[in-house]
Amino acid sequence: MAFVAGRKRVPRPAAGMTALRARRRMAGVVDSVMSPRLLVMGDNDASTGPEVNAASREAKRAVRRTLRAARRARRDMGETSEREADGRRLLRLAEPALRAASCVATFEPLDTESNLEPLNARLLENGRVIVPITLEDLDLSWRDLATGEDLGKDAIALADVVVAPALAIGARGERLGQGGGCYDRALPRRREGTPVIAVVFPDEFGVDFPTQAHDERVDAVLTVNGLTWLREPLR
């Protein structure tokens, strides 16, 4: 059974968030720290293997193209005030489930993704926050958001909860990523029982797409409409 449980300025965001925003304003500069997942944007699907046939790969690429186009349109048509309001709503919905976590693995959102800046700032106030860095082989290392320290690939095991990006989530928690397989590599390194909360837009939850055996499923889905637990919710 699914359990369904809001950027006005966040007061005095932590230094790590302030520094991050300042770096992102530097025109023409893109690297794996500032925009860690830009490296895997595209139509390539690294999730290949003997069990993945060409038709399945192409079907997933088609779904990704449609979802990316919709996200770009949403970004281009949206108002700043609307994005800020969505960020406040996500903070309000997610904070109760994350309040007890001493370390949260989250991510720095792209401008086409849901606004997690208020939530990330609050998490920094409450405990340790780590965010992914995409490596050349499309695996993920982790960085302390407050200090900038590179903690390595196994640091995801420090997290009590993982808040993960996705392009879409299926009805049973199947996760569709950008196609690089980054989180398919990283999530198995988390501690056993550590829940994964995926963040998507409301119309990206319940999407039908081909899945493979290696695809990771998530425990909960966060949208501006609510936090829906697909497995046992956090206590």
Q: Per-residue pLDDT for the chain (235 aa), expressed as one digit of tens each?
A: 333 333 322 333 344 444 444 333 332 333 334 445 554 554 455 444 444 578 888 899 999 999 999 999 999 998 888 999 999 999 999 999 999 999 999 999 999 999 999 999 999 999 999 999 999 999 999 999 999 999 999 999 999 999 999 999 999 999 999 999 999 999 999 999 999 999 999 999 999 998 877 778 999 999 999 999 998 766 5
Q: Is residue 7 situated within a structural domain?
A: no
Q: Is residue 91 situated within a structural domain?
A: yes
Q: Is residue 8 situated within a structural domain?
A: no
- In contact, 106 and 222? CB cutoff 8 Å: no
- In contact, 168 and 207? CB cutoff 8 Å: yes
Q: Is residue 155 situated within a structural domain?
A: yes
Output the pTM of the full model.
Answer: 0.80
How far apart, in Å, are the Cα atoms of 70 and each of 67, 76, 132, 177? 5, 10, 25, 15
Q: Which residues span the domain enclosing 101? A: 14-22+33-40+50-229
**Total domains, the chain:** 1
**Alpha helices per DSSP H over 25-116:** 54-77, 80-98
Q: How far apart are CA 212 and CA 177, in angstroms?
A: 13
Q: Is residue 174 situated within a structural domain?
A: yes
CATH number at residue 142: 3.40.50.10420
Q: How far apart are CA 38 and CA 140, in angstroms?
A: 13
Q: Is residue 123 situated within a structural domain?
A: yes
Q: How far apart are CA 148 and CA 142, in angstroms?
A: 10
3: left (phi over 0), alpha (psi -120 to 50) or beta: beta
Q: Is residue 2 situated within a structural domain?
A: no
Q: Is residue 121 situated within a structural domain?
A: yes
